A and B are shown apart, each in its own frame.
Chain A
Amino acid sequence: MKPPPFDYSAPTTLDEALALLLEHGEDARPLAGGQSLVPLLSFRLARPSHLVDLAGISELGSIVVDDGHLVIGAMVRERAAERHDDVRLLAPLLAQALPLIGHPAIRSRGTIGGSLAHADPAAELPAVALLLDAELVAQSRDRGKRTIKAADFFSGFFTTALQPDEILTEVRIRRPALRTGSAIEEVARRHGDFAMVGAAAMVRLEDGKIADARVALTGVSDIPVRATEAEAILEGAEPTDEAFATAAEEAAKSLSPPADLHGSSSYRRHLATVLMRRTFKLAAQRAKEAA
């Protein structure tokens, strides 16, 4: 469990880091907290010949509010985001999700951008980004900045739309509309483990009916997925337990989750149903309270 040899750079500016990625091409990997990449190196499952450590780049480390958007720098530690007032106010779902990631020690090192770019389908942040229609800003030295919608960002198991010479620099989240409630729940074998299945839901109420319902799932596919059948069923419906149960059951029918040691495919599908129902209900309740 020792990594193979690699070179290591610790740039202090984004420009330097982008130049290094360009220079080393596919052999280089950005290091953004290391909570996933370092174990992969130790198992010799990832073998980059050059690590570009982003930890010293202060321009990636801030949280600001810009034109109704919460803008989180890619190197903001998960623990710092969790404790940030603007995150709680402008992105309540993200604030609810962050404490579910690992343990405080892990969140103190792990970064928002690192988790998104790692794209583990069992992780919380990709699903949250998907649900919130977050915008992910990527930058390369040659092509400058581009904005990628979360729905277009995750392309497969541990794979994203990022090019080898690109660094994810920030994530932009629009503040939720009025009368919106959100919830996230998951089932993990132990406290702090990657969940077998997780569900994040957001419900917006208008005149007592559901104007908008969204749900994203972790652990049921190679990427985080939106359960659009459930969302369609709920739009315009009364926010009743029966409606949520029906929507969850219908949406789960089309899932064929992967099986592993911790749970069968049937179990994960069942969990998805239970968690969608529970999070819709809780989100709707919070939407009512917010009104």
Chain B
Amino acid sequence: MQNIAERYTGASVKRSEDPRILTGTGCYVDDVRLPGMLHAAFVRSPSAHARITGVDVTEARKLPGVIAVLTGEELDALTVRGPGAAGMFSAGLPMPSFSVLATDKVRLVGDPVVLVVAESRYLAEDACELVVVDYEELPAVITQEQALDPAGPPIFEDLGSNVLVRSPVATFGDVEGAFARADRVVRAELRQHRHQNVPMECRGVVCSFDLGSGELTVYSATQGVHIARTGFATQLDMPLEKVRVLAGDIGGSFGLKLGAAREDIACAAASRRLGRPIRWIEDRSENLTASGQARDESFEVEAAISNEGHILGLRVKMIIDTGAYPGLGGMLPEAVKGMIPGPYKIGALSFESTAVITNKASYVAYRGPWASETWVRERMIDLIAKELAMEPLEVRLRNVVTRGEPPLQMLTGRSLVGVTSRESLDRIAALVDVEAFRRRQAEARAQGRYLGLGLATYIEAAPGPRTPGGGGGIMGPEQMRLRLEEDGTVTVFTSQMPHGQSHQTTLAQIAADEFGVPFDQVRVVVGDTDVVPMGFGTGGSRSATMAGGVSLHGARALRAKVFEVAAHLFEASPEDMDLAAGAVSVRGVPARAVPLGEIARAAHEPGRVPRDLEGDLEVTAEYDGGEGGWAGGTHAAIVEVDVETGQVRIERYLVAEDCGVLINPAIVEGQVRGGVAQGIGAVLLERSAYDPDSGQYLSSTFMDYLIPTACEIPRIEIEHLETVPLDADVNFRGVGEGGMIIAPPTLCNAIEDALSPMGVRVTEQHLPPCRILELIGAIALDP
């Protein structure tokens, strides 16, 4: 063992995940092979909206190698209906009941209708082609207008219409007064286009029901094994204790892989019926078409402003398209409402929202699910600047809160303690040198070149400041078990389910520092409901504070327990114990040090320590988030638009972010870069497109749904601000979602700035080259 001269926390420690992942020796769900394992494929709906009038599986069942073909009706009899995984986000909202596979109707292109189980995926797909489903076509409900039309066909008859929920106007402050007092009112209709999580690894599951024990074991790519277990147990009507969910390496998720999906339940039910393991690995067509999509919203916004650029009030109307099977989409407007004032001194707000159901893929969480509040606000601020012919940075600086000065709360209620938006704006302004850019921009325009500067700022409750009711954010406290092993290493059991966040590195860094062992002697165990503590899993940018915090406090508690045991061995006081070089000694008597492993063994040997200390040298810790806090930052982009082709080149991209104390700077920067890349993709490349008449999904391959590659992503310059310690021990804050939240408005603002000589006003987020030329007026809109 080495002596620990420095702290791991704060250093770019190399990821302990990397050797296995980079050498191809990781274990993803696709790598799981069980004896007798069968392969599943689904017959999916070719129509957006149709009644099922007949299902004939006779020929499919005859194909050699096919083990079972289960129709929607047959699976319905084996499972419990319900919203399933989506239900966890929709407490209190109207929720239609639906079966695991479609029975009466199909509600989107790609809706699963029949499950085929065969000896290989090839054979299963051959059999899918032999299934004959008769459909009676219904009009597709695709646009918000179609969904709001009371004469339209209800997608769920039991709801009676396609309006899922209409929330009345909520008012904060004196809205009427603000508009009466305003020098001007800026209005905009802003459209946030639908796009989607595209993890490198699609969804997948291996379900194995043991006929002997009546237990179901599921290997899943999931963000949280316990949430998934609850989903399986509920829809299979099994006791929780009979379901075990395991997860290994996961190739990304971004919010998609939460709970047990309908396909997962179908495979588990089939495994229980057949008594054989069944594997379903989603292919890219299924993933793009039917796994879920996000960010389909429109906003009508009015801003009451003074001639000095102060935002006196906002009126916001939001419509969200939740897709076919309601889930997260229905509750998102509440989150948008709460966050829309952001870090600004906005005087008054009225907010109303409507959530509609359409024949499109279901709305799922996607990295910063409520992010449209930031896009709308940051776009409006630039439109306000344009109205007043002011520098957008100046409008932000006039409205953004200053630390320690009132208001200390967001208009909608949350404490703004520790918000450092002003600091990040100042830092970006210094890095960019706005005045120098404006001179360069003018010179370029004289040569027919169109440069633009955009910046935008955001805050994220990651996990959010402590509230009177307690900390921990919306997903509750975080637990962890930590154990000293007989070889002197520390094992950490966490409910976090890393899928790119590097928790096996970061949690070990924190525990190693706090306990006092080398980093490589902390092992982080994830992904097994039999051994990891209860918990939500990974999501919502909560891990840094919640899991980082419980790792710190847990390691501290384990160290105290080890000292207590050691004190008995030394017949000394725990306060006098010292840990160095992997051994405990009485302070000042290092020669008589006892190695950590020896202490763990002593606790296992009857009689060496008092009875209450006998057994595993283990603690269970819980952390409520402490003082919590905000993450946030400001991004800036300098772009050049080729006004002949509509292509956008990002010349420079800058980030000034504050996620508190950095656990591992390289990992933080990886999270920032990944988020920015997805944001660039959203604006320039990615769109989940539907034919508005037929409801056909048009983006079902990677030739149609374009994700950015390394070639499309510029160098990203990142500066870290570590401004405000709020808590005595834990000041790590989440950073996973920020890049994706703030890159789209940053880029939209830059593009509008570049095109300002043509009078272009950007009110939509998706700006592919064709659209840019339409906005400029260089080409006509095709009929």
Contacts and interface: CB of A to CB of B under 8 A. Distances in A.
A151 to B, nearest CB: 28
B768 interface: yes
B136 to A, nearest CB: 26
Nearest to B707: A190
A116 B113 CA distance: 40
Interface string A43-72: 110000000000000000000000000000
A192 interface: yes
8 contacts: A4-B129, A190-B685, A193-B703, A259-B782, A261-B699, A263-B769, A264-B779, A266-B780
A192 B704 CA distance: 14
A1 interface: yes
Interface in A156-200: 187, 189-194
A270 interface: yes
B298 to A, nearest CB: 21
Given A2-B122, A264-B779, A270-B773, 20 more contacts: A1-B125, A2-B121, A3-B122, A4-B126, A5-B122, A43-B285, A187-B647, A190-B712, A191-B711, A191-B712, A193-B703, A261-B689, A261-B698, A262-B768, A263-B769, A264-B770, A264-B781, A266-B779, A267-B646, A267-B769
Nearest to B778: A270
Contacts of A1: 125, 283-285
B645 A190 contact: no
B644 interface: yes
A271 interface: yes
A9 interface: no
Give the residue among A43, A193, A267, A274 with the most B Cβ atoms within 10 A.
A267
Contacts of B716: none
Nearest to A3: B122
Given A43-B285, A189-B706, A190-B712, A267 B773 contact: yes
Contacts of B689: 261
Interface string B675-688: 00000000001010
B782 A265 contact: yes
B87 interface: no
Interface of A: 1-5, 43-44, 187, 189-194, 259, 261-267, 269-271, 274
Contacts of B706: 189-190, 193
A41 to B, nearest CB: 11
A192 B709 contact: yes
B708 A190 contact: yes
Interface of B: 121-122, 125-126, 129, 283-285, 644-647, 685, 687, 689, 698-699, 701, 703-704, 706, 708-709, 711-712, 768-770, 773-774, 778-782
Nearest to A197: B645
Contacts of A192: 709, 711
B779 A270 contact: yes
A42 to B, nearest CB: 9
A274 B685 CA distance: 22
Contact of A267 (B685, B687, B704, B770): B770
A52 B706 CA distance: 32
A270 B780 CA distance: 10
A3 B129 CA distance: 12
A66 B284 CA distance: 46
B769 A266 contact: no
A2 B709 contact: no
Contacts of B778: 270
A194 B706 CA distance: 12
B122 A189 contact: no
Given A262-B768, A263-B769, A267-B770, A274 B782 contact: no
Nearest to A191: B711
A266 B779 CA distance: 6
B202 to A, nearest CB: 10
B645 A187 contact: yes
A262 B712 contact: no
A216 B284 CA distance: 35
Nearest to B41: A2
B711 A189 contact: no
Given A4-B126, A43-B285, A274-B645, A264 B712 contact: no
Contact of A189 (B126, B768, B782): B768
B703 A194 contact: yes
A43 B769 CA distance: 29
Nearest to A271: B645
B770 A262 contact: yes
Nearest to B705: A261
A262 B770 CA distance: 7
A215 B708 CA distance: 31
A280 to B, nearest CB: 14
A259 B691 CA distance: 13
A14 to B, nearest CB: 31
Give the residue among B284, B689, B768 with the most A Cβ atoms within 10 A.
B768
A50 B437 CA distance: 62
B644 A274 contact: yes
B194 to A, nearest CB: 13
Contacts of B285: 1, 43
A189 B685 contact: yes
Contacts of B769: 187, 189, 263, 267
A117 B709 CA distance: 29
A252 to B, nearest CB: 12
A262 B782 CA distance: 13
The 6 closest A-B pairs by CB, nearest first: A191-B711, A264-B782, A267-B770, A1-B283, A263-B770, A266-B779
Contacts of B698: 261
B37 to A, nearest CB: 16
Give the residue among B122, B646, B774, B779 with the most A Cβ atoms within 10 A.
B779
A266 B644 CA distance: 13
Nearest to B704: A261
A33 B458 CA distance: 48
Contacts of A269: 779
Nearest to A278: B644
Contacts of A4: 125-126, 129
Nearest to B647: A187
Contacts of A271: 645
A267 B712 contact: no
Contacts of A187: 645, 647, 769
Contacts of B647: 187
Contacts of A193: 703, 706
Contacts of A5: 122, 126
B710 to A, nearest CB: 9
Nearest to A4: B126
A263 B779 CA distance: 11
A261 B782 CA distance: 12
A259 B770 CA distance: 11
Contacts of B704: 261
Nearest to B779: A266
B109 to A, nearest CB: 15
Nearest to B700: A43
Contacts of A189: 685, 706, 768-769
Contacts of A2: 121-122, 125
Contacts of B687: 261
Nearest to B284: A1
Contacts of B284: 1
A185 to B, nearest CB: 10
Nearest to B126: A4
A271 B644 CA distance: 8
B591 to A, nearest CB: 61
A253 to B, nearest CB: 14
A191 B703 contact: no
A43 B701 CA distance: 10
B126 A191 contact: no
B525 to A, nearest CB: 35
A191 B770 contact: no
A259 B689 CA distance: 14
Contacts of B645: 187, 271, 274
Contacts of B781: 264, 266
Nearest to B684: A189
A191 B709 contact: yes
